[in-house]
Structure 1
Amino acid sequence: MAQRIRWQMLIAAVSALLIMALLTALALSTTTASQPLTGGVYREALVNGPPQQLIPLLNEPLNDPSGRDLAALLFDGLMRVGPHGTPDYALAQNWQVDPTGTVYTCQLRQDVVWHDGIPFSADDVLFTIQSVQERDFPGDPALTAFWRDVLVERIDDDTLRFTLDAPFAPFFNAARLPILPAHLLSDVPVDQWPVSDFARQPVGTGPFRLIAWDDQSARLEANADYFVQSPFIDQIELLFFDDTQTALLALFDQQTIQAAGYIATNNLAESQLPRPPDMQVSQRPLDGYTVLTFNLESDLLEDQQVRQALAYGLDKDGLIERALQGQAMRLDTPILPGWMVHDPQLAWYAYLPEEAMALLETADMEAPVLPLITDTNPQHLAVARDIANQWGRIGVDVQITELDRDTLRQRLQQRDFVLALHSWARLSADPDIFELWHSSQANDGLNYAGLQDDAIDTALEEGRTRSDSQTRRLHYQQFEQRWIEVVPSIVLYQPIYAFVSSQTIGVPGVDTTDGTVSPLLIGTEDRYRQSYQWFVESSREINPTLP
């Protein structure tokens, strides 16, 4: 009897150990994931003060990023930037392009309503584009210049036809133009839009609708009828701050604010505020770059050997570490990596100061003096000084002149410079950089370097007229190769911006660990690309991984 009990106790003990081992293995091989729930209020601190203009066609994004942020939540275009950084459908449901590449027929979605409940239709698209085409349009003249050459025809309530003068591959990118409601603005003269009631209380088709706003904050609520999906978040509150330090203090000290965006990474590094352990930082490159532009008409820089020598004499990686504390992404050509046409195999000039000095000697450039102009931006000044120090070691004397931003722009437009350090911003989602580097833009356009090269012209012309993605990639890579050979300028770096947020919320599309999302942001407001999927309320779901 006693022996039988001992065996039973042994079996029970072994069984208990096996169960414990199984539970331990299950615990170690099980993960949990946040599953979004509907509800809650999302609060974000914006660094650039209150918005100045909420009508997106009138907003100046470089001077009014907060206005651009709000507009991104309120409005849609026919197309949008998709998760991979390429054009995707928004208000448009389908496109048909004729064999010539000049006639685009657009079928609109039929499930879209404005925030006031009025159905969206082709009339709204026609009205918006015709308004942009007007002589008195108070927005960006470049919008008017482009759309004035496009014939837009209404076929029926849900169909439009766009006719272009010539094939234009970036047309779908241009079709991201925000659409405005004809029923609210058709009786308002376009030059009166900035002071209209609509400017104070805009109505869009976006994932959120505006409830109220003032100089301190803006409050939005979910658009339950949004055509993609009803947002998870019930309300969004954007709080406006004038500087990074104040915004981060509010984020770190107040439990009610969940995020701050978008913040330049150098400002985040310089803030020296202790970051709470539950805060995460997502970093993304923006669609722009800082460049050292050579005036190719200058006697000092007309020799390609001299320009190559200057390229060999500049350590970009060291410059970024010293002048920018590593808070930028090195760039070697004007083609951004996020555009998906960049050739990563192309090699820029290695840092070889001895080669630089040898080339300068061959070019008979002994102790050259190069004047460099830039603006008063602290980053630009730090970069300019680092360049001067580096080139001083190869025998080049760089003399820096600080100018206000408007004067710098004027000097660039007049080609009144030898070297100019400046930045390009908001280059868009398409790699079409025709206006910056084609010879037709050398005299009075944006080709400040004065670059005139047949091979580069051909690559840029084919890149903007050929719609096939592989063909476009080939032409832009040919552009890159030739651009490196000619060295018309030295592209230095892309800016990186940071989004600081609590780990308790979900921000799909912003987290840089998400490999399905293009890392390139098309303007800082592009962080809201998938805002309808953001959440502040969630549940934990067990995902076992045992076989």
Structure 2
Amino acid sequence: MSSDNSSWNRFARLKVSSKDVNKRLRKIEKGSLRHAHKFVTSRLDRLSNVRRRVSVWIILVLVMIGASAVQWHISRNSFTTMAYTSGGSYSEGVLGPLENLNPIFAKTNAEKSAAKLLFSSLYRYDSTGNIKADMADSVSVNDKETEYTVKLKKGLKWSDGQDLTADDVIFTLKLLANPEVGAEISGWKSIKFEKVSDDSVKFILPSSYSPFVHALTFPIIPKHILKDVKPSNLREHDFNKSPISSGPFAFRLLQNVTSDGSKKVLYLQSNSNYYGGTPKLERFQLYAYPTQDDIAKSLRTREITGTPELIYNDQSAEVKSMCRQKRIL
């Protein structure tokens, strides 16, 4: 007990003023702040250096990725090429009716579309509207431009394997010039024609007519199928419903979709005997509709893939969007 009192007495005798205490506290505070500032500043400097290094590495990685992408794109264009492949199907909508598949009787858009798919001509129009040779190999014209001699390509065949020759061309021309037939193609009554050889036909004009080659776009029909049919009975022949063809596609089936026959589907398949080679497209469906509204509806429901019958600006936003995706119309 005496030792505790002695310690307390010594502490009590110490003379410590509040001024000294405050001075010492300020000194300690300054020292603490100085150490804290030094610590934080050094950390911030290190963090700044780390950020700079990380940013540099990110930029380098992005540059490497970009360079790799450019190299891949250049290499792909250099060593790859776009190529068509065989197979597939296409469905097109056209305005009907579709009653007759004999091309010389084609009257509606549907029948004309079917004729182009099924039958070839001496000359035809390409996608740009320019005329070019179809089954014709060459044409020679006399000095007066009144005689045109057309030579056929070699190896022409019908879809049933029979040879297509000058006899078929002459047979078709005689039908076109015969009023009993009632063909939709006219203008052949005043033009003479004759067989020169199995692969050549001569056309004799009453006077010079430089655009005559445009008249050679008429479709040719098979003599070996129709030679025994009376001209007046030609419209009722079975050939008009299931024809033998010479174009890129061959007939498969003509189906009535509606009970009144206003909507029909013509099913075609690639013609392996086509002179231009078997088409890459394996199947072609031609949908014949009674109205344009029916065609637009079929586009929306994706029953058909495309159509030449509709004007893009007249369609709804939904149809326009779909057409842009498919690149049709």
State the TM-score bracket (shorter-chain normalisation): 0.7 to 0.9
* Bigger proportion of residues as strand: 1
Amino acid at match of 1:116: D
Deviates more, 1:184-193 or 1:128-137: 128-137
Amino acid at match of 2:309: I
- Tell me, yes or no, if the aligned pair for 2:170 and 2:195 is still in contact at 8 Å: yes
Matched, 1:502 2:321: no
In the other structure, the counterpart of 1:49 is 96
In the other structure, the counterpart of 2:221 is 180
2:273 to 220, 225, 238: 225
Provide the secondary structure at the position in 1 that maps to 2:235.
helix
Residues 263/273 of structure 1: CA separation in 2 closer, same or farther (3 Å cut):
farther
Provide the secondary structure at the position in 1 that maps to 2:154.
coil
Query: In 2, distance between residues paired with 1:14 and 1:225?
Result: 61
Amino acid at match of 2:227: S
- Tell me, yes or no, if the aligned pair for 1:59 and 1:68 is still in contact at 8 Å: yes
- Tell me, yes or no, if the aligned pair for 2:103 and 2:115 is still in contact at 8 Å: yes
Percent identity among equivalent residues? 23
Query: In 1, distance between residues paired with 2:122 and 2:322?
Result: 38
Superposed CA RMSD in Å reads 2.9
1:31-430 equivalent positions in 2, closer than 5 A: 35-46=83-94, 48-60=95-107, 64-140=108-184, 143=186, 146-215=187-256, 216-254=264-302, 257-259=304-306, 261-265=307-311, 269-272=313-316, 274-275=318-319, 277-280=321-324
Residues 134/244 of structure 1: CA separation in 2 closer, same or farther (3 Å cut):
closer
User: How many equivalent residue pairs?
Assistant: 266
Query: In 2, distance between residues paired with 1:232 and 1:69?
Result: 19
Residues 53/173 of structure 1: CA separation in 2 closer, same or farther (3 Å cut):
same
Residues 105/15 of structure 1: CA separation in 2 closer, same or farther (3 Å cut):
same
- Tell me, yes or no, if the aligned pair for 2:159 and 2:274 is still in contact at 8 Å: no
Q: Tell me by how many angstroms 1:187 deviates.
A: 0.6
* Bigger proportion of residues as helix: 2
2:69 to 24, 43, 48: 24
Query: In 1, distance between residues paired with 2:291 and 2:179?
Result: 37
Query: In 1, distance between residues paired with 2:128 and 2:91?
Result: 27
Provide the secondary structure at the position in 2 that maps to 1:154.
strand
**TM-score scaled to structure 1, two decimals?**
0.45
Amino acid at match of 2:208: P
Provide the secondary structure at the position in 2 that maps to 1:224.
coil
Structure 1: tracts of 5 or more residues without a match: 1-11, 281-500, 504-509, 512-547
Structure 2: tracts of 5 or more residues without a match: 1-56, 257-263
Query: In 2, distance between residues paired with 1:133 and 1:257?
Result: 38
Query: In 2, distance between residues paired with 1:269 and 1:279?
Result: 11
Q: Tell me by how many angstroms 1:155 deviates.
A: 1.5
Amino acid at match of 2:69: T
- Tell me, yes or no, if the aligned pair for 1:245 and 1:271 is still in contact at 8 Å: no
Q: Tell me by how many angstroms 1:45 deviates.
A: 2.4
Q: Tell me by how many angstroms 1:212 deviates.
A: 0.7
- Tell me, yes or no, if the aligned pair for 2:157 and 2:246 is still in contact at 8 Å: yes
In the other structure, the counterpart of 1:349 is none
1:442-521 equivalent positions in 2, closer than 5 A: 502-503=326-327
Residues 73/158 of structure 1: CA separation in 2 closer, same or farther (3 Å cut):
same
Q: Tell me by how many angstroms 1:22 deviates.
A: 1.3
Query: In 1, distance between residues paired with 2:128 and 2:217?
Result: 15
Residues 277/40 of structure 1: CA separation in 2 closer, same or farther (3 Å cut):
same
Provide the secondary structure at the position in 1 that maps to 2:318.
coil
The higher radius of gyration belongs to 2
Query: In 2, distance between residues paired with 1:67 and 1:258?
Result: 19
Q: Tell me by how many angstroms 1:79 deviates.
A: 0.6
Q: Tell me by how many angstroms 1:25 deviates.
A: 2.7
- Tell me, yes or no, if the aligned pair for 2:158 and 2:274 is still in contact at 8 Å: no
Residues 44/33 of structure 1: CA separation in 2 closer, same or farther (3 Å cut):
farther
Provide the secondary structure at the position in 1 that maps to 2:120.
coil
Amino acid at match of 1:226: Y
Query: In 1, distance between residues paired with 2:151 and 2:244?
Result: 23
- Tell me, yes or no, if the aligned pair for 2:192 and 2:203 is still in contact at 8 Å: yes
* CA deviation vs aligned residue, 1:414-457 (integer Å, no higher than 9, x gap): xxxxxxxxxxxxxxxxxxxxxxxxxxxxxxxxxxxxxxxxxxxx
